[in-house]
Amino acid sequence: MASLTDKVVATLFEDIERGVLCSGDKIPTGVALMKQLSVSRSVVREAVSRLQAANVVETRHGVGTFILPPADRESVRLPDADLSSLLDILAIVEFLIDLEGFAAA
């Protein structure tokens, strides 16, 4: 089941995909997103943090949060997975260990 944060991230990704938000555009303020999506400030903050971690947005303190160009967003993403069991989590950890080794080589 998707969390509220997942829904906010998905909404912003959809806006980018549909061209509602383009590279260089400033995303709506936290207050505007809270009202538009009926979520709390902490949910908006977590969603923006996830987008920053994925190199989708960049926050300029005192100015706002802006959409990065697609070339700056390229990264390896694991598909959304059901990590409900220890074996699922261990499989992801093993993958990341292998990936790190190959990247270091």
Q: What is the pLDDT of residue 59?
A: 92
* Distance separating alpha carbons of residues 90 and 57, to the nearest angstrom: 30
- Is it the case that residue 75 has pLDDT exceeding 70? no
pTM, to two decimals: 0.66
| 31 and 43 inside one domain | yes
Does one domain contain both 22 and 57?
yes
CATH of the domain at 13: 1.10.10.10
pLDDT, average across residues 15-28: 90
- Alpha helix locations (H) across the chain? 4-17, 30-37, 41-53, 70-73, 86-104
pLDDT band at 81 (very low <50, low <70, confident <90, very high): low
